[in-house]
Amino acid sequence: MKGNRSWVPGAKELDWIEDLAAPLSDALAAIESAAAPERIPIVDRDSGRVLSALAAGRRRIVEVGTAYGYSTLWLALGQPADGTIVTIDPDRSRTDLARGWWRQAGIADERIRVVTAKALEAFERKEPALEGPFDLAFIDALKPEYPAYLEALVPRLAPGALVLADNVLWSGRVVDPKVDDENTTALRAFDAAVLSDPRFHATILPVGDGLLLAGFRG
């Protein structure tokens, strides 16, 4: 057991892990290059690798928040070849670009279904593509709406499903009691609620901007 909590992995360790990892695909690299100048929010590359590993064996995935489809692609690359993803985002201009990168990566169109809508509205109107059951759900959209996304997802989850949520450490702001803006306060409450929710076995991985991982008891 690690006894020295003063040591945490730094840039040297992260670079070493990156050197060991499989080379980044051209499509993933293209999304990173396109997202940076436009300040399009995408997951940290380390978080993407975790998503891909956790998607192994998960055939039905739902994602709340697509943007440029970076996390979507990581999930698709980790899935079995017959896996499918439903991803929700209201911005058609972004998801059309995402489709091009998914095709570049060799992901067939039928594997990824885009629901062009605000997520809570799509859940409320019982969009057929969102019926489930899903065996993995990934949340990365409006931070104050995280609790509502989770409650909308629960009846759509298969027993043993994984729920993942990004940005749950919010660059360290959630642990700073002096920070009380809407996003930080919402994420802080969301983290506490999920980790104490008897419906889940949950923890937070200190990777990227913080990745919440919750196993659904069913």
pLDDT at 218: 82
Q: Does residue 33 fall inside a structural domain?
A: yes
pLDDT for 7 beyond 90: no
What is the pTM (predicted TM-score) of this model? 0.95
Cβ burial, residue 199 (10 Å; 0-12/13-18/19+): middle
Number of structural domains (the chain) is 1
pLDDT tens digits, one per residue of 45-85: 999 999 999 999 999 999 999 999 999 999 999 999 999 99
Q: Which of 77, 62, 66 is nearest to 28 (CA)?
A: 77
Q: Does residue 69 fall inside a structural domain?
A: yes
Q: Read off the pLDDT of each residue in 151-164 and give the average, rounded to a whole number.
A: 98
Q: Read off the pLDDT of each residue in 170-194 and give the average, rounded to a whole number.
A: 96
Q: Does residue 127 fall inside a structural domain?
A: yes
Q: Does residue 176 fall inside a structural domain?
A: yes
Q: Does residue 160 fall inside a structural domain?
A: yes
Cβ burial, residue 154 (10 Å; 0-12/13-18/19+): middle
Q: Does residue 1 fall inside a structural domain?
A: no
Q: Does residue 29 fall inside a structural domain?
A: yes
Q: Does residue 174 fall inside a structural domain?
A: yes
- Here the tokens at position 156 are 């759509």
pLDDT at 51: 98
The parent domain of residue 192 ranges over 11-216
CATH number, domain of 138, equals: 3.40.50.150
